[in-house]
Amino acid sequence: MTANGFKLEERDLAVRFRFRVDTGVQRNTSELHVLQQDRGVEEVSWPEQSDDQELERQMLQDVAQYLANSADAAPISMMADRAMSDSGRIALEDTEQATRIRLKLPFDRAWASVIKGTAAADFAIDDRDRSQGILFVTFIGPEDEDESGWFDWLWGGEEEHPLAGHRYQIKLDRIDADAVLITLHGPEGEAVDRRDQQALLTILRGNIT
């Protein structure tokens, strides 16, 4: 497989890449990870993160495009099938105390996935405290009329979503080394109406990848 969009021969140092396919968060999805390393004369072990973040991003983008263009190719389909999970890694749970999302990922991966999903789920991230596992956010609400259809049903068809402009905390709590619980709280950490929890966490769940 060749990568398009940039020329490695223009670099002074030789480089190498390592590719890893993991089970995705959502059911029947996969995640592709790329690690890049500049190579000298001596062979060295792989670093924890790429030596060139921009080159890693370019390679990931080109490989993703290659896979998208080759979706019907048997080797690509077989690779994806082996990486897929029938059970999924994410679930919305209701307990007597609260609604929450159970995400089966180590904290570092979960934190990155929730940040990405939060931005895609009509929230603006105002601040973050990684040590406490808290994102401080404001719910913007859907801008597209097609996206707001089920909200209209839930809240009675108001022109603007009633929670738009409300501030919240999205909190990640470690369960163990490979899982976290995600809960929604008010701007000062107080409890949130149960229906609002269910609605907003449902949106968030659908955008975590």
Interatomic CA distance for residues 34 and 18, integer angstroms: 6
Residue 60 domain-assigned (yes or no): yes
57 and 112 inside one domain? no
3 belongs to a structural domain: no
pLDDT of residue 73: 45
Are 106 and 192 found together in one domain? yes
Residue whose token pair is 């949130």: 192
* Residue 205 near residue 92 (C-beta atoms within 8 A): yes
Tell me, what DSSP letter sits at residue 97?
A: S
Dihedral angle at the C-alpha atoms of 199, 31, 104, 50, nearest 10 degrees? -120
Q: Are residues 75 and 96 in the same domain?
A: no
- The helix/strand/coil state of 117 is helix
As a whole number of angstroms, the longest Cα–Cα distance in the chain is 68
Residue that terminates a domain, selected from 50, 68, 83: 83
- What does the block give as tokens for 195? 């229906």
Residue 91: CA count within 13 A, CB half-sphere: 9
Distance (Å, whole) CA 26 – CA 16:
30
Site of tokens 């490979």: 178
Residue 1 inside a domain? The answer is no
Alpha carbons 95 and 198: distance in angstroms, whole number: 11
Question: Do residues 60 and 162 share a domain?
Answer: no
Domain-located, residue 145 = yes
Residues 78 and 121 in one domain: no
For residue 174, the domain's CATH number is 3.30.310.170
Residue 106: domain span: 90-207
Q: What is the pLDDT of residue 27?
A: 59
Residue 2 domain-assigned (yes or no): no
Single out the residue of 36, 32, 29 nearest to residue 20, CA to CA: 32
Does one domain contain both 56 and 139?
no
pLDDT by 10s per residue, the chain, length 209: 334 444 455 555 577 878 777 666 665 566 677 888 887 655 567 788 888 888 887 777 777 666 665 554 444 333 333 333 334 688 889 888 889 999 999 999 999 999 999 988 889 999 999 999 999 999 998 765 554 444 443 444 555 678 889 999 999 999 999 999 999 999 999 999 988 998 899 889 988 87
What is residue 11's predicted lDDT score, i.e. its pLDDT?
A: 57
pLDDT at res. 134: 97
Give the integer Cα–Cα distance in Å for 158 and 70. Answer: 44
pLDDT value of position 4:
40
